Structure 1
Amino acid sequence: MVKRDNTTVDHFDTIGILYKGSGSEDSVHTYSYAESSNDGSSLSFRSSMCHNGAIHGTVKPKGPMPARFKSLPLHPMPKRRGAGFPDLLSSAREKRTFSVPVPVADGTYRAFNLNTLRSSNGDMDTNIQEHLNNDIIHVQDDDIVENDLMDIVAQNDKVIIVHNADGPIGWTTVHESLLNSTAAPLTRAKDYLIDNRHVVLSLTRSVYGAHKELFSQQRSVVLVIDDQGELLGTITDRDISRLIEKGCDIWNTELANEVKPSHVLTENKPISLNDLDMVASYAERPVPIISSAGSLMGIADIKKMRRYLNSAAEITQENSTEAAPMNPISLSESMILDAVLSDTLRTGIVGTDEFLNIIYFNEAILDFIQKPELLRLGSKIWAVTDSCAISQQSLNAMLDTVKEDGEQIFANWITINEGKRYIQCRLSTVKQRAHTAGFVLSVQDITAQRNAEEAIRKLAYQDRLTQLPNRLLFEERLSLEAKRSERNGSQFAIMMLDLDGFKAVNDDYGHSAGDQLLQIMGERLLNSIRGSDTVARFGGDEFVFILPDVSNPQDVETIAEKIQDIIHKPCEINGTVFHVGASIGYSIYPDDAEDPKALLDLADTRMYKNKRENC
C-alpha cells in the first residue's frame, strides 16, 4: 500500500507497451493504474515515456478517465465485406490503429492486425480470410472502462466492439482506450471551427457554378457532397483559378471531376499532435469538420489547433508533476483580441513605436512571416516587411508619405508555405497630439478576391465553348494593333472565316455534335497560327484573325490556303466522320482601310462573296 496525493492506494500496477522507434531506440509508454481504497471508485492513470530505460517525462491525466465505453471516441462499424490487404491497410492507417474489425459472411466480425503482414511476407494478393483472427473483445456501452482495462491491457492490441441494446455501435482498440484515457495534450475540432468560409454544393454542379457561389458569398472553399449528402472532398478558389489558367471548360466540367480528397475531423473526437501529422499529409487542403451525427459544420483552423497543442505539450512536460492541463478556453484578454482579429478579420497586425521597434503583434501576423523566430517585441519591423516583399527603401518612402497623408495601401504577391498569396498591406500612423507616436501595419490575405477578379476578367474575354478569345477581346486587340501599326509604320491583315457545312451538322446531328465540331476547329485554328497572331470566335461558326506584319495579298492568301487545308481534314465525332470547308475573306491595313471597323466590314463582305461563289 502506498500513499500518493493524500490518497491511500491499495495497488499500483504498471503496464508497458513497446513501440518501435524510427532509429535504433525503442520507446516504451508505461501506463500506471491505481485504485483508491477510500471508496473504491477513485482511479488515476499516469503515462511515462522511456528511451533505452531513461524516463524522459511523465504526463498527468487531463481529468478523470472516461467512465464508460460509450464516452470513448468510437469508429463506425465497417459494413463492406470482401476487403483486401490494401483496403485494410488503408483503414488502419486512416484510423491510426494496429487492428481493425472485418465483417464476415456469418454476420459476425473478426480482426485484422498489422502483424499479419509478417506472416503473409507482404504478399498483397494472399487470401485475407486466412489471416484474420479472433482478437476481439465485446463489451456493453455502459460497461465501466476501468473494470475491463486491467483484464485486457496485457494482451495484444485487440479490437473492442461496443454494443448497446440494438447491437454493435462502434469499435476501438485496447491501445486507443488507453491513450484516450490518458493526458497527452488533446483538443477537439469544434473549438477551432470556421463556419463562414465555405459553401456546400452537389458533385453534379459545374465548376463555373462553384466559382459563382464563392464569389457571390465571398467564400473560399466548396465542400462537395454526393447524392446521399456524404462529403466527397473540397475544391477551393485557387483550384478554380488554376483550372481557368489551364483552359478548362468550367461551364461544362462537373465538380465530381475536379474535387480533391480531404482529411475530415469529427467535432468531438479528441485530437492530438499525431492526428495533425495525418492531416498534414493532405498538404494545404482545407480540413472539413463534421458533427457527431455526420452533418457538415465548416472548416478547421489547423494552424491555430497545432499552436495550442504544441503549447500545451510544452507546458505539460515542464510541469508534469504539478501543473494542471491547459484549457483552450482559458485565454487572456490579449489572446481573445488576437482570436477576434485572426478569425473574424483574418488580419495580421504589427504595432511599432516611432523608431519602428515592434511593441505589439498578434498571432495572425505569423501566417505571413517567413521566419517567425525573428519576430519579437523590441525587434525592428524588417522581419515583417521583408516577408511582405517591401524593401527598406520603399518602406522609408512610404513612411514619409504616411506621416503627411495618414495612410498608405499597397499590395504584393508573396510566397507562403511554397504557395503564392496576394496580400494587401495598410500602413497608418498613431498620433498623440501633433506628434507621431508610432505606426500600425496591418496585413490581409486577399488572394481569393484577386483570384476572383482575375477569373472574371478571363471569363469576360474568353469564348465559353472554344476557350478562344471572344469578340470583346478581339476588338480590343484590333484597336491596339491599329495603333501599333500606325506608330511603327507597319501593316497587318484581318481575315474572316465562316465554316461551310456547319449548319447541316447542327440540323442533322444536334447541337451537341455542332458544339464539339466548333471546339475541334477552334483547337486546329489556334495550333495553326504564330504566337504573335490572334484567332477569336466572332460568333456562331465565324472565326476572325489578326495577322501582324503581313504586308501583301499573296502572303494572306498563302495563310488562307493553309487554314482551308486544316479545316478540310476529316473530323470524327461519336463515331461519325464529318467533312466541312471554309470561306475566307481578308483586308490589309492601311491599304484597304485605316479604321478597324472598316477593315472588319471589308473582310466580312469578301468572305460572304467567296461563300456565295463556293455554293
Structure 2
Amino acid sequence: MFNLFKDESQSVNSFFLFMQSLANRNLVAEALKVSEAKYRSLLENMGLGVIYLSNAGTVISANQVAGQIMGLPLNNMVGRALTETCSRIVKEDGSVLAHEQHPAMLALRTGKPVENVVMGLFNHAQQDHTWVMSSSVPEFLPGEREPHQVFMTLTDITRRKRVEEESSLASVIVNNTGEGIVVTDQDNKIISVNPAFTILTGFSRQEVLGKRAHCFQSPKNAIKIDEALRNSRKNGNSWQGEIWHRRKNSDDFPCWTTINQVKDATGRTTHHVYVVMDITHLKKDQNRLGFLAYHDPLTKLPNRMLLKDRINHALQNARREGSQVAVLFLDLDRFKIINDTYGHAVGDGLLKEVATRIKNLVRKEDTVSRYAGDEFIVFMEDVSDTKSPATLARKLIETFNIPVEVKGHTLQVTTSVGISLFPRDGDDSDSLIKNADAAMYRAKKEGRNNFQYYRPELTTQAFEKMAVETELRQSIDKRELVLYYQPRVCLKTGNIAGIETLVHWQHPVMGLIPPARFIPVAQESGFILALGEWMVEAACRQMRCWLDERVPVNKIVVNVSAFQLLRSDFLATVERILREHELSPHCLELEINESSLMDNAEHIIKALNGLADAGMDLTIADFGKGYFSLINLKRIPAKKLKIDRSFVSEMLCNSNYEAVIRSVIALGNSLNLQVIAQGIESEAQKDKLIEMGCNLGKGDFYFPPALPDAKNLTKLMS
C-alpha cells in the first residue's frame, strides 16, 4: 500500500511540475510576443529605414520606412537578395556602386561595422534615386566568428543633399559668373564680393570689405546708389538701371546694376545684393547703331532719314526768315558698268572717294548725303542767290575730271546734277528731292556731265519715264516684244548676205514703239540684260524655223549692249541658246555700237575675243560717230564696220559726210573689214556707195523691216 501511494504521490508531483513548466512557457511566449510587438513598433516609428540581411545577402525583414526609401512593398523585399531589391546604387560622384562594395556586404565580409556611407538607392516608385546615409552592423551568434546577419539602417538625406547641391551650385555660379556680385549688410557695408567684381573694378576683396557700397560709385552718375536703394523699397524690394562705377585706376565705366533686398522671416532687410554688369561695349554698340540709323555705313555720310530731317528743320527757318535753300541731286554716270566690271569692292572704294571729294567742296553748314546707290544729295541752307547752287554744281562736275585711283585701277567718272530751289520748286523735302531728281535726269538726257535746274515740265517727263520703265519690265512676260527683220544685201549683186533684227514694243495703248524710244530706258534701268537675252533667243528660234523650212538664210544679226558683254556669263548664255536651237555659232552675228566701246574697253575687248573664238562674227555699228581708238579697233576681232545712217542720208548733199564715208571705207579696206552702209533709200545713194567701194548695205530702198511671216519677206528670201 505504502509503495502504491508513494508512486501515486510522485506522479501527482510530476504532473504539477509539468503544469507549472507549461505555464511558465506560455508566460515566456506571451512576453516574447509583447517584446516583439514593442520592437516592431520601435522599428516602425524610429524614422529610420531598417533592413536585416542574412549572411547570404537576403532580406530577412525590413520596416515601412525602408520600403518607402526603396519604393517597394515589404512583401516584395523580404526573401529577395539585396541586388534584386535595389538594382542600381550610385556613389556621390554619380558612379555606380558595385555590389561587393555595398556597406552591408563589406560588413558581412569583414565582420566590422561600416558606418555613415552616403549613397543613392534607386526608388522604383519614383523612378529616381533616393539619397541615404547608411550604416551596417554585423551580428554574431555565441561562439561564432562569422556574422550570421547584418543590421542595416537607412537615413533619408535627399532633401539635405539637394540643398547642399543647390548651395554648391549657387556658389559655383556666383564665383564663375561674369557679372560682379556684391553683398552688403543692412547698413550697406560690403561683406562679400565675387571674383568677377575684383576683375571688373580692380579692387581686391580685402580692399572693399567693411566699406559702404558707395566706394566704387562714379561721380558722373545721374542716379546715386542711395536713391536706387530707396527706389528698390518702393518697387517691390528690387531696382535695376544704369549706374556708372569707378575702377581702382579711377576709370569710369557704365554698368547695368540690379539691387535686391534680402529679408528675414519678420520682413526686416538683412542684406543687399548688387549685380553689376559692365555695359561699355553695349554702350558703344548702341552709339554705333544710333549712328548707323542716321548715316550710310560705307561713306559715313548722313542717310536719307537724317537728310530729310535736316531739310525739314531748315525749311522752318527759311519760311520764317524768307530765305532760299537748294537741293543738288548727283548721280554718277555709268557707275553700274564700273561696279559690274571691277566688282563691288572697287565700286565701294569709288563711292567713298566720291563722298570725300564732295565733302571737300561744300560749306560747313551744307549737308552731304548718300541718298541711294550711286546717288548723292547736297543740301544748301541760306542760299544767297540762284547762281550759288550752279557754282557748286560746276565745281562738283569739275572735281571728277581728275581720275580716281581705286585698288590699282584708274577710273574716270562723270556726274550729272539736278538742282531744285525752295520756295520756287517745292515746299517740303520730298518735293524738293523729287524735282531735283527730275532735273538730274534732264542733265543725263542732255549728254551727261552737266547740271540742270528744275522746270515744271520735268516732273511730267519723270512720271512718264517711270511708267514706261515699269511697263517695259513686264513686256517680256506679257509677250509684247516683237522682232522685225531686214535683209542685208550685197550692193553689187543684190544677193542677201544676212538678216538683221530690230526689236519693237507692241504697247497695248501706245501702239508699236520703235527701239529708239525705249532702249535708253532699258539701259538706265538695267532691263537691257533681260531684253538682250530675249532678242538673242528670239532671233535664234526664228533662224531655226527658217532653216527647217529651207529658207536660204545663212546668218542672223542681233545688236548687243556693253552691259551684256560685261557679264561674265554672257558667252555661256549665247552658247546655250545656240545649242537649244541646234545652230552653229557661224549662223549668229553680233553687233555692238562704237559708243559702247569707249567705256571699259579692256573688258569689252576681252569679251568680244571670247565670242569670236567661239565662232561668231562681230560687227562694229554706227562707226564714225564716236571716238573709239583705232589701236583698240585692231585688237577687236570684228569682220565688219557699219556706217551710221546719218552719214548716208546726207552724203549726196554734204561733202563732209561723203568724206567721212570714204574714210571709213578706206579704213575698212586697210584692215580687211567689210563695210556696211545702212539707211539706203535711193538708187543714187546705192550707186554712190558702190562707186566709193562699199561692200554691203540695207535700207528701205531694198526692203523695209518686216515681221518674219510677211509675204514679201518670205518671197524675197525664197
Question: What TM-score results when the alignment is normalised by the length of structure 1?
Answer: 0.39
Name the structure, 1 or 2, with higher relative contact order (CA <8 Å, separation 6+).
1
Question: What TM-score results when the alignment is normalised by the length of structure 2?
Answer: 0.34
Structure that is richer in strand per residue: 1
**Greater CA radius of gyration, 1 or 2?**
2
Structure that is richer in helix per residue: 2
